[in-house]
Structure 1
Amino acid sequence: MKKLGVWFTKHKRLFKTIFLLAVTVIVFTEILSIGKTISLQQLSAIFVDIPVYKVLLMALVGLLAVLPMTGYDFTLNQMMGLQHKKGYILETSWLVNTINNLVGFGGLVSIGLRSEFYSKGKSAKEVLGPLSKILLFLEAGLSLFGLLSLGMVISGKSSPFVSQYWPWLLGGGLYFPLVYLFTMLKKKGILGGLSPRYRLQLTVVSFLEWLGVVVSFSLIGWLMGIQVSLWDLVPLLIASSIIGIVSMIPGALGSFDVMMILGLTNLGISRPQIVVWLLLYRLFYYVIPFLIGGILFSKQLWTRFNQRYDGIPGSLMLEIFHKIEVFLMYLSGILIVLLATIPQGFREIGWLRGMNLFHYHLVAQYPNILLGFSLLIMGRGIAAQVKRAFYPTVVLLLVAIVYTCLFDTSIIAIVVLTTMLVMVIGSRSELYREQLIYSWKWLTIDGAIIGFLSLFYVAIGVYNSPAFPHHRRHQPISFMVFPSERLWMTGFIAILVVAGFMLVFLRFLQGRRQKIGEPVDETRILRILETYGGNSASQLVFLGDKDVYIYHDGTEETVFLQFATYDNKCVVMGDPVGKKEDFQAAIQAFIDEADQWCYQPIFYECDANTVTILHELGYDFIKMGEEALVDLTTFTTAGKKMKGTRAVLNKITKEGYTFDVLQPPFSSETMACLQEISDSWLKGRKEKGFSLGFFSEAYLQRGPIAVVRNQDHEIVSFANLMPTYSKEVGTIDLMRHHSEKAPSGSMDFLLIHLFDYFKAQGVSYFDLGMAPLANVGHSRKSFTQERIANLVYEGGSHFYSFQGLREYKEKYASQWVPRYTLYHRDSWIAYVMLVILLVDNHSVDLSQAVGNQRKPTDQLAKEEQLTSS
């Protein structure tokens, strides 16, 4: 037995699942059973003859009659010492009792359901005792009414036919005294130890429950105009209920009805009236409360299922609802506008007629245009998940529903509009964004739809113009014939009005344009860099051309990201900087804040670790190229491969050129010299930025500068060293030489000496920067975007020396590290690349010392091009 108990405990979850599934099957079986006994035509005929206020009163009494049964569960929670909220108890109690009313089985179903809802954290003994006592008192009220009915029969005021049921009334009436005496005398065990307080509470609840039954049944008959003495009705009702319960038939269906029909017929009531009476009683006391209970039961099952899987099903359901409501709003808007544009087409064209959810006379022409375009505009706000779109959308749908009901009642249209309204309200939690940033993607979609509809409407007007050729030569196309020119003009004015409304509504959704991030605070940024280290791009933050997002782990600031904002995109430069353990949390926090304000981050030139983090967060990626690293511990100029480089170095050295590293701060004379070299190198071109620094004195003063001097000790080339706050990697940023004074090969001369310099500093690798599009899209199974990029790589050398740059760096590089651009999978790659292109090539406003920067990769490419030319 002990082993059996352990086995049952081990498989407790399985038995609970089986029980809930069994109850669900029984519930649906009962629904089908009731459906067979209730004819909708019959109900319609009945309700035609009964005034509306009487029907409403019947429904109200039926609901109030069920309400006392919730007292069982309030008492049960007190007995078990539970702390459930009153709302939870009321909801679960209604569910349990209405299902038990219909399903029955002697109250066993109610015990099983109560065990499921209230047994959490309790042992089997703690649950079984209170539930058993509740089960004993479920029929206490019926027993009391049995004694009361027996007294009515003995008084002699009941008819002889009803009086013959006295044995059933006596048997049922003895149940309560026996149960009360038993629970009072038994002090221990599962059924013992019930306090007088709880006995009284359960007795009162059960009495009120059966009082509700008597009142509900009697009042329905009275409202139907049926005259029957309570001295006959009450004993007959109680006796029939006792017989039905003893039969153990679900809801006492069948036996109760047979006994009532037999008894009431003998009391002189016609059989059709009895059937209607029983039908209405079933409807208002059983069916309607049961349907409410069924909804609550479904909610409970869904809640448990959702909780079991960590809320994922609920999130998916809300997301699906949101997508459906957006689809319906766009579809409805398009159909309504088309209906106003080519009404005849919805009669003549089969597929259009099949799609038509609305009638042509749904509303007048002018409001029709307004409603259609307004649904499209509201659809954008809902699709963008903006909070501000909720109330305007609800108001618009309510107006559409009311207008449909008043002007041309279309059941399909009302159902569709009501469904949209319910979905919008039900998925309100999906509207979480604080503002709308109208992105190029959304502008393209909405512009295509609204633009097509507007142009099509204009084209219809032109086609119907008396000056159009078909009026003189050919029979016009019937479905394109518009009712009148005046009506078309009314619709055209409506389109102009909608255009103005669209601008106002979009401005409302945008609110006060809120940007994310903050300007660079050097103190805070340096604290992170000096504590946790940086990377080859971290120094770019001090240019001031980008905003930063700083992550706080609850104790201190540990990570920052640098980014520029364009359109609805936040283009993050490089990998996160700071404490590596917090990278994922920092990226997630940044994405969440950006999403809240309707921005989409793009992560530009990231390594594989960042790809792994972002791929789990719903980001796709494209390989942008490879970053060249020189292993300083093994680098040498010896060997056949470096023969040409050695010759260049020896020549420049013999000519008297020298290498030096200057330490800040730099004098104004030095900065003026560097400015002259930079201007000579630029040759009038504007500085570009984002991924590489521009010439800024404040920026260059932040670190050492490597220079090449000629025989006259004059600086002819320079490169600023970028602190990476680690001994792992060293790199440079600007690398420029005087177009006239610097010797050919000065870049090699500078790089080789930089390698020696960093190696002496204990740095392991030198970052030569990225070779754009290198080793991208070579495989036939590469992403389509990458294969297109490979075509650019192979054929774009006329504009940019991709291959030459790769070959140049190949001389020094000991390893290549892939670099990626990551974007959310909802983004359009074309617009992602366009934003990157605009941000990365934005001209720098040197007067404000703000610009965008490019990495050494791109700069070395320019250097190589100029040198080779």
Structure 2
Amino acid sequence: MSTPIDLEKADEELETRGGISGFLNRNRTLIVAILTVAVFGIAAYAIFDLTNEVRYDDVVHALATTKVSSILLALFFTGLSFFSLIFYDQNALEYIGKRLPFPHVALTSFSAYAVGNTAGFGALSAGAIRYRAYTRLGLSPDDITRVIAFVTLAFGLGLAAVGAIALLIIADEIGPLINVDGLWLRMIAGAIIAALAFVIIVGRNGREVRIGPIAIRLPDSLTWSRQFLVTAVDIAASASVLYVLLPDSAIGWPGFFAIYAIAVGLGVLSHVPAGFGVFETIIIAWLGSSVNADAVLGSLVLYRVIYNVIPLAIAILAVSAAELRRFVDHPAASSMRRIGGRLMPQLLSTFALLLGMMLVFSSVTPTPDRNLEFLSSFLPLSLVESAHFVSSLLGLAMIVAARGLGQRLDGAWWVSIISAVLALLFSLLKAIAVVEAALLAFLVFGLVVSRRLFTRPASLLNQALTGGWLTAIAVICIGAVVILFFVYRDVEYSNQLWWQFEFTEEAPRGLRAVLGISIVSSAIAIFSLLRPAAARLEPVSDHAVERAVEIVRKQGVADANLVRMGDKSIMFSEKGDAFIMYGKQGRSWIALFDPIGPRHALPELVWRFVETARSAGCRSVFYQISPMLLSFCADAGLRAFKLGELAVVNLQNFELKGGKWANLRQTASRAVRDGLEFAVIEPQHVPDVMDQLAEVSESWLADHNAKEKGFSLGAFDPDYVASQPIGVLKKDGKIVAFANILMTETKEEGSVDLMRFSPDAPKGSMDFLFVQILEYLKEQGFQRFNLGMAPLSGMSRRESAPVWDRVGGTVFEHGERYYNFKGLRAFKSKFHPEWQPRYLAVSGGVSPMIALMDATFLIGGGLKGVVRK
């Protein structure tokens, strides 16, 4: 058996143990970020090598000579592709049995794909858009998760199917391009098609497929067919966007279609944002022998603008139009505006990121000679040089502020609009870049129109960038360096380049810009990685507890009475009418339940908690929250994971009549025959029986070899026990069981916390005590009774549920050896409650297992407390 010293040491060293698997799990985010940057670096080097004979002027010429008819066709196919993408969401909603207005679905889907195609990580970035919009339309978190899973898997499987079919047909055409025999390509394509066909046949007509303990209900044949058609149209249209921009080549559309599908698939698998660099490498490598590489590069640049930038701008324009019509009273306009308000921050965040990249990349590309000649006639060289250098740093500032825009920070709004206005001015001073200035003006327009959405006070200096954003910055910096080397590959390097300041010498300007970007981005990364030490929380004052109790009395959540324990810190809203109770474990600030107070105070209180935790160098966690809070958590950048289900009994319908209550009736009758008597002791009389209650509590702890818990559970503290009524069972005049009854003045809900009984209490005493408390609360006019949460209950194991749900469901089914999950739910089920989901919400990039472990340690008093119960 471990000694107390051993356990304390284990508690301190927990995060350093676990071998290779533990190391990989703890550093998963960092490892993925490093691998992503490495993959992009390899792709960037490959592009540089593949275009060894290509010159920048050739690429510009290829862009300039692109036919207008080709651009118009590309715009048409882009519209067709995005129109087909809408039906991913439409099919997903029909599959889960939900119907929403088509205009709302169209705006949500269009915006989601505009962001996902540009920012990358479609399941996350586009998923966040869907979550924000669909919560406004009444979908539950589980429904939204199923929609996201459907569209993600539909695209992945559809891409595999369409690409395999195309490869099967034109293998002989593709084979010579990559020096692989066509027979091998057909065998690979045939294996993919066979695997997909097997899945369809096994799950035909919506049959359930079991893989171990996991059950998946696959779509029926009609859904499969309809979704395959949608995916085929989408990929064919998006491939056509690039194909019509390419010059005439020896490869036909079917062959190019297969190459495009493979390039898109590998770009997604690379985890590089938007597949940037990986997609381009594959296209150039396969088409280099049949099309001039300079023409391919020019077409790829134009493809990115048409397929990524324009849809994003259209989405912002559509939402901005809704914002400008905020005084229109038509219900449809009002509904669209509410959805637009949820989407706009993410759209502007992505657009700011895109324009930041544009500013960075334009700082390493030369200015047309004609423009430089014109500028030299009116402006001093020092002003042009300064505008060029500062523009690159403004681009980096916009990239950093883009994350804050997604979180609706007022500071991010100010940084973005000031940076955009200055960059707009400098774009004209450095190069008369009219297109660049127009895009920046459009961003300013979007920011001004949506100013009311960015009201969260926060300091950008306290914003530690996540691994994904640091990865994006690293990718952009590497891209800038590669573009610099590509553009000036014919310029021989010399130390003197750093000090050359002439209108005609542009390589030195690019070098200085890259140096500035590298230094500032490195400083940002170091600042984010070297987080401040986690600060200790100040003990809560008696006055703060009294203020919180006054709020608790006037609302309807009985469990909020746990604030009376005084073992949790309290954060009040600005008006003092709501509060969050929370504790700290490791680097986690863990809020218990939803914030207590009126609904209007919740959004900013949630945000302030997240921001304050971040300022203290900690991660924010919300434990046991309701679905109502999830949209506010999503707005604050938190991810939600199902934790279990809460059992709630409707007291208005509660009565021990009918067949389903037979067992409880028999238990109650037996308890009466055993001589048990129920009574409720009011708070003012509890001190008179405190000694008896303490004796029962101590015997219960000793019999269960347990210790007092905390945080989400109350402990036997005389002041806490005496603060609410106590339901007791007596036998021969002696108390043998008790439970403290939590209630508020609104009489909306009642609950219990401490439930303890003597070892000699008759069998079934706890069931009888609960029945009596429910009947007592019903007589007092209470509406419902909170039986508490059943952990890991109700986890989805169907329809490609998230890994968290599948693991949780498996533990619930097979984890009885370690915790009585099923037994706890079975006990609560005796009272025929309504089951309501409860969630764990954690800061983006944080593993839910770390957050859940910290919550468990906080409740149990550290590892030693958990091990010793």
Q: Structure 1 length normalisation: TM-score?
A: 0.44
Q: Structure 2 length normalisation: TM-score?
A: 0.44
Higher relative contact order (CA 8 A, sep 6+): 2
